[in-house]
Amino acid sequence: MEFVKFLQNPEKYEKLGAKIPRGAILSGPPGTGKTLLAKATAGEAGVPFLSVSGSEFVEMFVGVGASRVRDLFKKAREMAPAIIFVDEIDAIGKERGNGRMGGNDERENTLNQLLVEMDGFDTGDHVVVLAGTNRPDVLDKALLRPGRFDRHISIDVPDVEGRKEIFKVHLNKLKLAKVEEIDIKQKDVDFAKYQEFKTKAVENLAGRLAALTPGFAGADIANCCNEGALFAARENAKSVEVHHFEQAIERVVAGLEKKSRILSPDEKKTVAYHEAGHAICGWFLEFADPLVKVSIIPRGQGALGYAQYLPKDQYLTSQEQFRHRMIMALGGRVSEELHFDTVTSGALDDFKKITLMAQQMITHLGMSNKLGQICYDTSGDSNGGFKVHNNYSEETAKIIDEEVKRLIDEAHAECTRLLKEKIQLVDAVAEELKEKEVLTREDMVRICGPRPFLERNDAFDKYVHGDDAFKGKPKTKLDKDKKEADDQDSPSAATA
Protein backbone atom coordinates (compact mmCIF):
# COMPACT_ATOMS: atom_id res chain seq x y z
CA MET A 1 0.00 0.00 0.00
CA GLU A 2 3.02 2.31 0.45
CA PHE A 3 3.61 2.53 -3.30
CA VAL A 4 -0.09 3.10 -3.92
CA LYS A 5 -0.04 6.17 -1.67
CA PHE A 6 3.16 7.43 -3.30
CA LEU A 7 1.63 7.25 -6.77
CA GLN A 8 -1.78 8.61 -5.78
CA ASN A 9 -0.46 11.63 -3.89
CA PRO A 10 3.26 12.22 -4.62
CA GLU A 11 3.05 15.92 -3.71
CA LYS A 12 2.40 15.01 -0.06
CA TYR A 13 5.87 13.42 0.15
CA GLU A 14 7.75 15.79 -2.15
CA LYS A 15 6.49 18.76 -0.13
CA LEU A 16 8.40 17.37 2.87
CA GLY A 17 11.54 16.76 0.82
CA ALA A 18 11.08 12.98 0.67
CA LYS A 19 12.03 11.06 -2.45
CA ILE A 20 9.60 8.51 -3.82
CA PRO A 21 11.10 4.97 -3.69
CA ARG A 22 12.13 3.89 -7.15
CA GLY A 23 11.48 0.18 -6.91
CA ALA A 24 10.88 -3.00 -4.97
CA ILE A 25 11.95 -6.63 -5.31
CA LEU A 26 9.09 -9.10 -4.76
CA SER A 27 10.67 -12.41 -3.80
CA GLY A 28 9.08 -15.70 -2.89
CA PRO A 29 8.40 -19.27 -4.05
CA PRO A 30 6.66 -19.85 -7.40
CA GLY A 31 2.89 -19.40 -7.37
CA THR A 32 2.66 -17.10 -4.35
CA GLY A 33 1.17 -14.19 -6.32
CA LYS A 34 4.08 -11.84 -7.04
CA THR A 35 2.76 -10.85 -10.47
CA LEU A 36 -0.79 -10.59 -9.15
CA LEU A 37 0.36 -8.31 -6.33
CA ALA A 38 2.13 -6.02 -8.81
CA LYS A 39 -1.02 -5.82 -10.97
CA ALA A 40 -3.15 -5.18 -7.89
CA THR A 41 -0.81 -2.35 -6.83
CA ALA A 42 -1.18 -0.67 -10.23
CA GLY A 43 -4.94 -1.20 -10.19
CA GLU A 44 -5.30 0.22 -6.68
CA ALA A 45 -3.19 3.25 -7.58
CA GLY A 46 -5.05 3.70 -10.87
CA VAL A 47 -1.86 4.01 -12.95
CA PRO A 48 -0.68 2.29 -16.17
CA PHE A 49 0.97 -1.12 -15.72
CA LEU A 50 3.80 -2.19 -18.02
CA SER A 51 4.71 -5.85 -17.60
CA VAL A 52 7.66 -7.63 -19.17
CA SER A 53 9.56 -10.86 -18.52
CA GLY A 54 13.29 -10.74 -17.84
CA SER A 55 13.96 -13.32 -20.54
CA GLU A 56 12.39 -11.05 -23.20
CA PHE A 57 15.36 -8.68 -22.99
CA VAL A 58 17.99 -11.24 -24.01
CA GLU A 59 18.22 -12.15 -27.70
CA MET A 60 20.89 -13.61 -29.94
CA PHE A 61 21.58 -10.18 -31.44
CA VAL A 62 23.95 -7.92 -29.52
CA GLY A 63 22.42 -4.71 -28.19
CA VAL A 64 18.77 -5.79 -28.48
CA GLY A 65 18.33 -6.22 -24.71
CA ALA A 66 19.73 -2.81 -23.81
CA SER A 67 17.62 -1.19 -26.53
CA ARG A 68 14.45 -2.80 -25.19
CA VAL A 69 15.25 -1.56 -21.68
CA ARG A 70 15.63 2.00 -23.00
CA ASP A 71 12.36 1.77 -24.93
CA LEU A 72 10.49 0.39 -21.92
CA PHE A 73 11.60 3.17 -19.60
CA LYS A 74 10.99 5.83 -22.24
CA LYS A 75 7.41 4.60 -22.64
CA ALA A 76 6.90 4.51 -18.86
CA ARG A 77 8.10 8.12 -18.47
CA GLU A 78 5.67 9.23 -21.16
CA MET A 79 2.78 7.50 -19.32
CA ALA A 80 3.89 8.57 -15.81
CA PRO A 81 2.79 8.00 -13.15
CA ALA A 82 3.23 4.33 -14.04
CA ILE A 83 4.46 0.97 -12.74
CA ILE A 84 6.97 -1.22 -14.58
CA PHE A 85 6.96 -4.89 -13.58
CA VAL A 86 9.89 -7.10 -14.59
CA ASP A 87 8.99 -10.74 -13.95
CA GLU A 88 11.80 -13.26 -13.33
CA ILE A 89 14.40 -10.49 -13.14
CA ASP A 90 17.06 -13.09 -12.30
CA ALA A 91 17.15 -13.88 -16.05
CA ILE A 92 19.09 -10.63 -16.56
CA GLY A 93 19.97 -9.58 -13.01
CA LYS A 94 22.36 -12.34 -11.94
CA GLU A 95 25.57 -11.29 -10.25
CA ARG A 96 28.19 -10.29 -12.80
CA GLY A 97 31.63 -11.85 -13.01
CA ASN A 98 30.59 -15.42 -12.13
CA GLY A 99 30.36 -16.73 -15.66
CA ARG A 100 33.07 -19.21 -16.56
CA MET A 101 31.78 -20.31 -19.94
CA GLY A 102 31.52 -16.97 -21.75
CA GLY A 103 28.41 -15.84 -23.61
CA ASN A 104 27.22 -13.57 -20.78
CA ASP A 105 28.13 -10.23 -22.39
CA GLU A 106 24.65 -9.55 -23.77
CA ARG A 107 22.97 -10.31 -20.44
CA GLU A 108 25.45 -8.09 -18.59
CA ASN A 109 24.94 -5.26 -21.09
CA THR A 110 21.20 -5.50 -20.51
CA LEU A 111 21.71 -5.41 -16.74
CA ASN A 112 24.04 -2.41 -17.04
CA GLN A 113 21.42 -0.54 -19.07
CA LEU A 114 18.77 -1.35 -16.45
CA LEU A 115 21.05 0.06 -13.72
CA VAL A 116 21.66 3.20 -15.79
CA GLU A 117 17.94 3.73 -16.40
CA MET A 118 17.10 3.36 -12.72
CA ASP A 119 19.89 5.78 -11.80
CA GLY A 120 18.63 8.18 -14.44
CA PHE A 121 15.20 8.54 -12.85
CA ASP A 122 14.38 12.09 -11.98
CA THR A 123 12.51 12.45 -8.69
CA GLY A 124 9.60 13.91 -10.63
CA ASP A 125 9.27 10.96 -13.04
CA HIS A 126 6.82 9.11 -10.75
CA VAL A 127 7.74 5.74 -12.27
CA VAL A 128 8.03 2.78 -9.90
CA VAL A 129 9.83 -0.42 -10.91
CA LEU A 130 8.67 -3.69 -9.35
CA ALA A 131 10.55 -6.92 -10.03
CA GLY A 132 9.64 -10.51 -9.22
CA THR A 133 12.01 -13.40 -8.55
CA ASN A 134 12.19 -16.67 -6.65
CA ARG A 135 16.01 -16.47 -6.51
CA PRO A 136 16.90 -13.20 -4.73
CA ASP A 137 20.20 -14.75 -3.60
CA VAL A 138 21.65 -14.72 -7.14
CA LEU A 139 20.87 -11.06 -7.94
CA ASP A 140 23.67 -8.55 -8.49
CA LYS A 141 24.41 -6.42 -5.43
CA ALA A 142 24.40 -3.26 -7.55
CA LEU A 143 20.79 -3.98 -8.43
CA LEU A 144 19.75 -4.31 -4.80
CA ARG A 145 21.36 -1.18 -3.39
CA PRO A 146 19.18 1.68 -2.05
CA GLY A 147 18.27 4.15 -4.77
CA ARG A 148 17.43 1.37 -7.21
CA PHE A 149 15.34 -1.26 -5.46
CA ASP A 150 14.68 0.41 -2.12
CA ARG A 151 12.25 -2.20 -0.82
CA HIS A 152 12.72 -5.97 -0.56
CA ILE A 153 9.30 -7.56 -0.07
CA SER A 154 9.19 -11.27 0.77
CA ILE A 155 6.01 -13.10 -0.25
CA ASP A 156 5.86 -16.50 1.42
CA VAL A 157 3.30 -19.29 1.05
CA PRO A 158 0.11 -18.41 2.96
CA ASP A 159 -0.74 -19.75 6.42
CA VAL A 160 -3.99 -21.61 7.09
CA GLU A 161 -6.10 -18.44 7.33
CA GLY A 162 -4.53 -17.08 4.15
CA ARG A 163 -5.22 -20.36 2.33
CA LYS A 164 -8.80 -20.23 3.58
CA GLU A 165 -9.35 -16.77 2.07
CA ILE A 166 -7.82 -17.87 -1.25
CA PHE A 167 -10.00 -20.99 -1.29
CA LYS A 168 -13.10 -18.83 -0.73
CA VAL A 169 -12.26 -16.79 -3.84
CA HIS A 170 -11.97 -19.89 -6.04
CA LEU A 171 -14.81 -21.88 -4.44
CA ASN A 172 -17.30 -19.08 -5.15
CA LYS A 173 -16.76 -19.73 -8.86
CA LEU A 174 -17.73 -23.42 -8.58
CA LYS A 175 -21.05 -25.21 -8.27
CA LEU A 176 -20.73 -26.72 -4.79
CA ALA A 177 -22.81 -29.58 -3.41
CA LYS A 178 -23.25 -27.90 -0.03
CA VAL A 179 -24.57 -24.74 -1.68
CA GLU A 180 -26.90 -26.82 -3.85
CA GLU A 181 -28.32 -28.43 -0.69
CA ILE A 182 -29.03 -24.98 0.71
CA ASP A 183 -30.76 -23.99 -2.54
CA ILE A 184 -33.07 -27.00 -2.18
CA LYS A 185 -33.76 -26.82 1.56
CA GLN A 186 -34.03 -23.08 2.13
CA LYS A 187 -36.61 -22.07 -0.48
CA ASP A 188 -38.87 -20.32 2.03
CA VAL A 189 -36.06 -18.50 3.86
CA ASP A 190 -35.57 -14.78 3.19
CA PHE A 191 -32.65 -13.75 0.98
CA ALA A 192 -30.46 -12.39 3.81
CA LYS A 193 -30.77 -15.65 5.74
CA TYR A 194 -30.09 -17.65 2.59
CA GLN A 195 -26.92 -15.64 1.92
CA GLU A 196 -25.82 -16.24 5.51
CA PHE A 197 -26.26 -20.02 5.13
CA LYS A 198 -24.48 -19.99 1.79
CA THR A 199 -21.54 -17.92 3.07
CA LYS A 200 -21.16 -20.19 6.10
CA ALA A 201 -21.16 -23.33 3.93
CA VAL A 202 -18.42 -21.92 1.66
CA GLU A 203 -16.43 -20.71 4.67
CA ASN A 204 -16.57 -24.11 6.39
CA LEU A 205 -15.50 -25.91 3.23
CA ALA A 206 -12.71 -23.39 2.61
CA GLY A 207 -11.46 -23.88 6.18
CA ARG A 208 -11.41 -27.67 5.86
CA LEU A 209 -9.54 -27.56 2.55
CA ALA A 210 -7.10 -24.95 3.90
CA ALA A 211 -6.24 -27.24 6.82
CA LEU A 212 -5.68 -30.15 4.40
CA THR A 213 -3.23 -28.18 2.22
CA PRO A 214 -0.25 -27.02 4.33
CA GLY A 215 2.49 -25.51 2.20
CA PHE A 216 0.22 -24.83 -0.80
CA ALA A 217 0.82 -21.58 -2.67
CA GLY A 218 -1.98 -19.59 -4.29
CA ALA A 219 -1.38 -21.24 -7.67
CA ASP A 220 -1.59 -24.69 -6.05
CA ILE A 221 -4.92 -23.77 -4.46
CA ALA A 222 -6.34 -22.54 -7.78
CA ASN A 223 -5.16 -25.77 -9.43
CA CYS A 224 -6.68 -27.85 -6.62
CA CYS A 225 -10.11 -26.21 -7.03
CA ASN A 226 -9.99 -26.71 -10.79
CA GLU A 227 -8.93 -30.36 -10.40
CA GLY A 228 -11.83 -30.91 -7.98
CA ALA A 229 -14.27 -29.60 -10.58
CA LEU A 230 -12.67 -31.84 -13.23
CA PHE A 231 -13.05 -34.91 -10.97
CA ALA A 232 -16.74 -34.05 -10.51
CA ALA A 233 -17.20 -33.64 -14.27
CA ARG A 234 -15.59 -37.04 -14.95
CA GLU A 235 -18.10 -38.64 -12.58
CA ASN A 236 -20.98 -36.77 -14.27
CA ALA A 237 -21.80 -35.22 -10.89
CA LYS A 238 -24.22 -32.30 -10.77
CA SER A 239 -22.01 -30.38 -8.32
CA VAL A 240 -18.56 -30.55 -6.73
CA GLU A 241 -18.44 -32.41 -3.41
CA VAL A 242 -15.88 -32.61 -0.62
CA HIS A 243 -14.42 -35.93 -1.79
CA HIS A 244 -13.72 -34.41 -5.22
CA PHE A 245 -11.53 -31.76 -3.59
CA GLU A 246 -9.82 -34.39 -1.44
CA GLN A 247 -9.03 -36.40 -4.57
CA ALA A 248 -7.64 -33.23 -6.15
CA ILE A 249 -5.42 -32.56 -3.12
CA GLU A 250 -4.06 -36.11 -3.29
CA ARG A 251 -3.35 -35.68 -6.97
CA VAL A 252 -1.43 -32.43 -6.39
CA VAL A 253 0.51 -33.85 -3.41
CA ALA A 254 1.22 -37.42 -4.50
CA GLY A 255 0.43 -37.54 -8.22
CA LEU A 256 -2.23 -39.28 -10.28
CA GLU A 257 -3.38 -42.76 -9.31
CA LYS A 258 -1.72 -45.40 -11.49
CA LYS A 259 -4.50 -47.97 -11.68
CA SER A 260 -2.66 -49.69 -14.52
CA ARG A 261 0.27 -50.41 -12.18
CA ILE A 262 -0.93 -53.66 -10.64
CA LEU A 263 1.12 -54.93 -7.72
CA SER A 264 1.73 -58.63 -7.19
CA PRO A 265 0.28 -60.09 -3.94
CA ASP A 266 3.76 -60.17 -2.37
CA GLU A 267 4.46 -56.55 -3.35
CA LYS A 268 1.07 -55.44 -2.07
CA LYS A 269 1.74 -57.13 1.27
CA THR A 270 5.17 -55.50 1.53
CA VAL A 271 3.80 -52.03 0.73
CA ALA A 272 0.95 -52.53 3.22
CA TYR A 273 3.35 -53.39 6.05
CA HIS A 274 5.68 -50.56 5.00
CA GLU A 275 2.91 -47.95 5.17
CA ALA A 276 1.50 -49.50 8.36
CA GLY A 277 4.92 -48.97 9.97
CA HIS A 278 4.84 -45.27 9.06
CA ALA A 279 1.25 -44.92 10.29
CA ILE A 280 1.81 -46.61 13.67
CA CYS A 281 4.96 -44.58 14.35
CA GLY A 282 3.12 -41.37 13.54
CA TRP A 283 0.18 -42.41 15.71
CA PHE A 284 2.22 -43.03 18.86
CA LEU A 285 4.88 -40.30 18.56
CA GLU A 286 3.88 -37.12 20.37
CA PHE A 287 5.55 -34.65 18.01
CA ALA A 288 4.48 -36.38 14.79
CA ASP A 289 2.02 -34.52 12.57
CA PRO A 290 -1.66 -35.64 12.65
CA LEU A 291 -2.42 -38.47 10.23
CA VAL A 292 -5.25 -37.94 7.75
CA LYS A 293 -4.98 -40.90 5.39
CA VAL A 294 -2.75 -43.83 4.48
CA SER A 295 -2.93 -45.52 1.08
CA ILE A 296 -1.23 -48.34 -0.85
CA ILE A 297 -2.56 -47.24 -4.25
CA PRO A 298 0.41 -46.56 -6.60
CA ARG A 299 0.81 -42.91 -7.59
CA GLY A 300 2.30 -41.16 -10.59
CA GLN A 301 5.35 -39.80 -8.76
CA GLY A 302 6.75 -43.31 -8.31
CA ALA A 303 5.29 -43.92 -4.86
CA LEU A 304 3.68 -47.33 -4.33
CA GLY A 305 1.95 -46.00 -1.21
CA TYR A 306 1.88 -42.90 0.92
CA ALA A 307 0.64 -41.48 4.20
CA GLN A 308 -0.91 -38.00 4.30
CA TYR A 309 -0.12 -35.88 7.34
CA LEU A 310 -1.02 -32.34 8.33
CA PRO A 311 2.06 -30.40 9.46
CA LYS A 312 1.07 -27.24 11.30
CA ASP A 313 2.14 -23.77 10.22
CA GLN A 314 5.22 -23.08 12.31
CA TYR A 315 8.52 -21.25 11.99
CA LEU A 316 10.63 -23.10 14.56
CA THR A 317 11.30 -26.85 14.79
CA SER A 318 12.50 -28.43 18.03
CA GLN A 319 15.08 -31.19 18.36
CA GLU A 320 12.34 -33.58 19.53
CA GLN A 321 10.26 -32.82 16.43
CA PHE A 322 13.23 -33.61 14.19
CA ARG A 323 13.84 -36.85 16.11
CA HIS A 324 10.22 -38.00 15.87
CA ARG A 325 10.07 -37.20 12.16
CA MET A 326 13.16 -39.33 11.59
CA ILE A 327 11.65 -42.21 13.59
CA MET A 328 8.41 -41.92 11.61
CA ALA A 329 10.29 -41.90 8.29
CA LEU A 330 12.15 -45.07 9.31
CA GLY A 331 8.90 -46.83 10.26
CA GLY A 332 8.48 -48.35 6.80
CA ARG A 333 11.93 -49.97 6.64
CA VAL A 334 11.78 -51.20 10.26
CA SER A 335 8.36 -52.74 9.64
CA GLU A 336 9.83 -54.64 6.68
CA GLU A 337 12.73 -55.84 8.87
CA LEU A 338 10.33 -57.14 11.52
CA HIS A 339 7.91 -58.92 9.16
CA PHE A 340 9.98 -60.23 6.24
CA ASP A 341 13.20 -62.16 5.70
CA THR A 342 14.60 -59.41 3.47
CA VAL A 343 14.10 -55.69 2.90
CA THR A 344 13.21 -53.86 -0.33
CA SER A 345 14.08 -50.64 -2.15
CA GLY A 346 10.84 -48.99 -0.99
CA ALA A 347 12.56 -46.88 1.68
CA LEU A 348 14.82 -44.95 -0.73
CA ASP A 349 12.90 -41.67 -0.46
CA ASP A 350 12.66 -42.05 3.33
CA PHE A 351 16.45 -42.44 3.56
CA LYS A 352 17.00 -39.31 1.49
CA LYS A 353 14.76 -37.31 3.83
CA ILE A 354 16.27 -38.51 7.09
CA THR A 355 19.85 -38.14 5.83
CA LEU A 356 19.20 -34.54 4.79
CA MET A 357 17.41 -33.89 8.09
CA ALA A 358 20.30 -35.31 10.14
CA GLN A 359 22.86 -33.34 8.12
CA GLN A 360 20.93 -30.11 8.71
CA MET A 361 20.74 -30.83 12.45
CA ILE A 362 24.50 -31.46 12.70
CA THR A 363 25.98 -28.92 10.27
CA HIS A 364 23.56 -25.99 10.43
CA LEU A 365 21.48 -26.12 13.61
CA GLY A 366 24.12 -26.86 16.25
CA MET A 367 22.37 -30.02 17.50
CA SER A 368 25.57 -31.99 18.10
CA ASN A 369 27.53 -31.98 21.37
CA LYS A 370 30.72 -33.00 19.56
CA LEU A 371 30.68 -30.17 17.02
CA GLY A 372 28.94 -27.58 19.16
CA GLN A 373 27.02 -24.50 18.11
CA ILE A 374 28.63 -23.98 14.71
CA CYS A 375 27.08 -23.62 11.26
CA TYR A 376 29.24 -25.34 8.64
CA ASP A 377 28.97 -24.26 5.01
CA THR A 378 28.40 -27.59 3.27
CA SER A 379 28.21 -26.00 -0.20
CA GLY A 380 32.02 -25.69 -0.31
CA ASP A 381 34.10 -23.40 -2.53
CA SER A 382 32.78 -23.35 -6.06
CA ASN A 383 34.18 -22.51 -9.44
CA GLY A 384 31.59 -21.70 -12.07
CA GLY A 385 28.93 -23.59 -10.15
CA PHE A 386 31.10 -26.69 -9.59
CA LYS A 387 31.97 -27.71 -6.02
CA VAL A 388 35.73 -27.85 -5.45
CA HIS A 389 36.14 -28.71 -1.75
CA ASN A 390 34.48 -28.32 1.64
CA ASN A 391 35.19 -25.30 3.81
CA TYR A 392 36.18 -27.48 6.76
CA SER A 393 38.86 -30.07 7.51
CA GLU A 394 38.79 -33.78 6.75
CA GLU A 395 38.69 -34.49 10.47
CA THR A 396 35.57 -32.34 10.84
CA ALA A 397 34.00 -34.05 7.83
CA LYS A 398 34.62 -37.41 9.51
CA ILE A 399 32.96 -36.23 12.74
CA ILE A 400 29.98 -34.91 10.75
CA ASP A 401 29.55 -38.32 9.09
CA GLU A 402 29.79 -40.07 12.47
CA GLU A 403 27.24 -37.74 14.07
CA VAL A 404 24.80 -38.10 11.17
CA LYS A 405 25.07 -41.89 11.44
CA ARG A 406 24.61 -41.71 15.22
CA LEU A 407 21.36 -39.73 14.90
CA ILE A 408 19.96 -42.13 12.31
CA ASP A 409 21.04 -45.23 14.27
CA GLU A 410 19.40 -43.88 17.44
CA ALA A 411 16.19 -43.14 15.51
CA HIS A 412 16.29 -46.66 14.01
CA ALA A 413 16.69 -48.26 17.46
CA GLU A 414 13.81 -46.21 18.92
CA CYS A 415 11.62 -47.05 15.89
CA THR A 416 12.39 -50.77 16.29
CA ARG A 417 11.48 -50.65 20.00
CA LEU A 418 8.19 -48.87 19.26
CA LEU A 419 7.08 -51.18 16.43
CA LYS A 420 7.98 -54.32 18.41
CA GLU A 421 5.80 -53.00 21.23
CA LYS A 422 2.93 -52.26 18.80
CA ILE A 423 3.47 -55.29 16.54
CA GLN A 424 -0.16 -56.44 16.77
CA LEU A 425 -1.41 -53.01 15.70
CA VAL A 426 1.01 -52.99 12.75
CA ASP A 427 -0.44 -56.36 11.67
CA ALA A 428 -4.02 -55.09 12.07
CA VAL A 429 -3.40 -51.90 10.06
CA ALA A 430 -1.50 -53.78 7.33
CA GLU A 431 -4.18 -56.44 6.93
CA GLU A 432 -6.92 -53.82 6.63
CA LEU A 433 -4.80 -51.84 4.18
CA LYS A 434 -4.41 -54.94 2.00
CA GLU A 435 -8.18 -55.32 1.98
CA LYS A 436 -9.33 -51.69 1.65
CA GLU A 437 -6.20 -50.06 0.10
CA VAL A 438 -7.04 -46.73 1.81
CA LEU A 439 -7.47 -46.05 5.54
CA THR A 440 -8.75 -42.77 6.92
CA ARG A 441 -8.12 -41.23 10.32
CA GLU A 442 -11.42 -42.68 11.54
CA ASP A 443 -10.21 -46.17 10.58
CA MET A 444 -7.01 -45.61 12.56
CA VAL A 445 -8.99 -44.51 15.63
CA ARG A 446 -11.14 -47.66 15.33
CA ILE A 447 -8.09 -49.95 15.06
CA CYS A 448 -5.63 -48.22 17.42
CA GLY A 449 -7.83 -46.12 19.67
CA PRO A 450 -7.39 -42.35 20.07
CA ARG A 451 -3.87 -40.93 19.99
CA PRO A 452 -2.50 -40.96 23.56
CA PHE A 453 -2.01 -37.19 23.68
CA LEU A 454 -3.69 -34.00 22.53
CA GLU A 455 -3.21 -32.95 18.92
CA ARG A 456 -1.00 -29.88 18.66
CA ASN A 457 -2.39 -28.47 15.43
CA ASP A 458 -4.87 -25.60 15.71
CA ALA A 459 -5.94 -25.79 12.06
CA PHE A 460 -6.48 -29.55 12.36
CA ASP A 461 -8.58 -29.12 15.53
CA LYS A 462 -10.57 -26.25 14.07
CA TYR A 463 -11.37 -27.59 10.62
CA VAL A 464 -10.57 -31.31 10.22
CA HIS A 465 -10.85 -33.20 13.53
CA GLY A 466 -13.86 -35.29 12.49
CA ASP A 467 -16.53 -33.52 10.45
CA ASP A 468 -17.43 -31.06 13.19
CA ALA A 469 -16.26 -27.87 11.55
CA PHE A 470 -17.71 -28.80 8.19
CA LYS A 471 -21.11 -29.87 9.49
CA GLY A 472 -21.27 -27.13 12.09
CA LYS A 473 -21.82 -29.56 15.00
CA PRO A 474 -20.32 -28.97 18.45
CA LYS A 475 -17.20 -31.00 19.30
CA THR A 476 -18.73 -32.91 22.18
CA LYS A 477 -17.83 -36.57 21.68
CA LEU A 478 -14.38 -35.91 20.26
CA ASP A 479 -13.51 -33.60 23.13
CA LYS A 480 -14.65 -36.30 25.58
CA ASP A 481 -12.53 -38.91 23.78
CA LYS A 482 -9.49 -36.65 23.98
CA LYS A 483 -10.07 -35.96 27.68
CA GLU A 484 -10.52 -39.67 28.43
CA ALA A 485 -7.29 -40.45 26.57
CA ASP A 486 -5.44 -37.88 28.67
CA ASP A 487 -6.91 -39.15 31.95
CA GLN A 488 -5.91 -42.76 31.34
CA ASP A 489 -2.49 -43.85 32.56
CA SER A 490 -2.30 -46.25 29.62
CA PRO A 491 -4.35 -45.58 26.47
CA SER A 492 -6.51 -48.36 25.03
CA ALA A 493 -4.24 -48.76 22.02
CA ALA A 494 -1.19 -49.42 24.17
CA THR A 495 -2.66 -52.68 25.48
CA ALA A 496 -2.33 -54.27 22.05
H helices then E strands: how many in the chain? 21, 10
Contact (Cβ atoms closer than 8 angstroms) between residue 6 and residue 128: yes
Out of 117, 241, 246, 275, pick the active-site residue.
Answer: 275
Chain centre distance of CA 414: 29
Contact (Cβ atoms closer than 8 angstroms) between residue 242 and residue 205: yes
Among 85, 220, 228, 202, smallest CA distance to 157 is for 220
Among 378, 394, 281, smallest CA distance to 334 is for 281
What is the 8-class DSSP label of residue 492? G
What is the 8-class DSSP label of residue 50? E
Concatenated DSSP letters for 338-379?
HHSSS--GGGHHHHHHHHHHHHHHHHTS---TTT-S----TT
Cα(422)–Cα(445) distance, rounded to whole angstroms? 15
Is residue 241 annotated as part of the catalytic site, yes or no? no
Could you give the 3-state DSSP secondary structure of residue 55?
helix
Concatenated DSSP letters for 375-413?
---TT-EEETTEEEE-SS-HHHHHHHHHHHHHHHHHHHH
List residues with catalytic annotation: 275
